[in-house]
Amino acid sequence: MNWSSVASTIPVLTTANTSRGLTEAGTGVPFVACELLYETYQSAWRYATHVSHTPRPIRVLLSRAMAARAVSTPIGTLGLVATGDGLSGVRWSANGLRDEASPILDEAVAQLEAYFAGALIDFDLPLDLAGTEFQRSCWLALATIPYGQTASYGEQARRLGLGPDSARAVGAANGQNPLPIVLPCHRVIGADGSLTGFGGGLHIKRFLLEHEGALLPLG
């Protein structure tokens, strides 16, 4: 199988302005999985040969270098990861990450700091998302939920043109969101108004919603 011909059909996701929604622009070799380069070479080899049955994707995959950065925020130190194409990960911990130079990460840090200072409500960053088509559509739909507002999983499904029985699948996709805060899965709540699950913990979800004015502070 020719990897170049396969890669040319997979979109690289970018954004001009999240307040207008995220759009696809151009194509290229996808960053298949952020975590892959942190795993052993053997694991990467197994993945690539499973995908294409040739060793070529390994060389392509390893050539797409990642940069990482730790950023201190009111909710703790976050770990940011980026490829040359865009921001690919926001982690709840920076453990194991080594700060590296990247203009994308420079801008991501600046925008996160502005967000927590109350000076920014819409992120404007290039994104490099690794996921299924359905996952990416769910993640991008998160950016259409306005700052200071919330939506239920059913409402998010409707934004995607799906029926109410898709709410559970949408919730599962949100749970795999690689860019929390930037793609604001914290703004999705239960139909009864409950906060429901969140990768960073419900206390952080509440903090973010209170910070945006979507919830009144407790006590």
Which residues are known catalytic residues? 185
Return the beta strands (E) in 41-154 as ranges: 67-73, 76-82, 87-91, 151-152
Place of tokens 């239960």: 190
Q: What angle do CA 11, 16, 21 make, to 5 degrees?
A: 80
CA atoms within 13 A on the CB side of 63: 7
The dihedral through the CA atoms of 202, 206, 209, 212 has a sign that is: negative
Task: Let me know: does 3 contact 56? Beta carbons within 8 Å.
Answer: yes
Q: Which value, in Å, is the radius of gyration of the alpha carbons in the chain?
A: 18
CA atoms within 13 A on the CB side of 14: 12
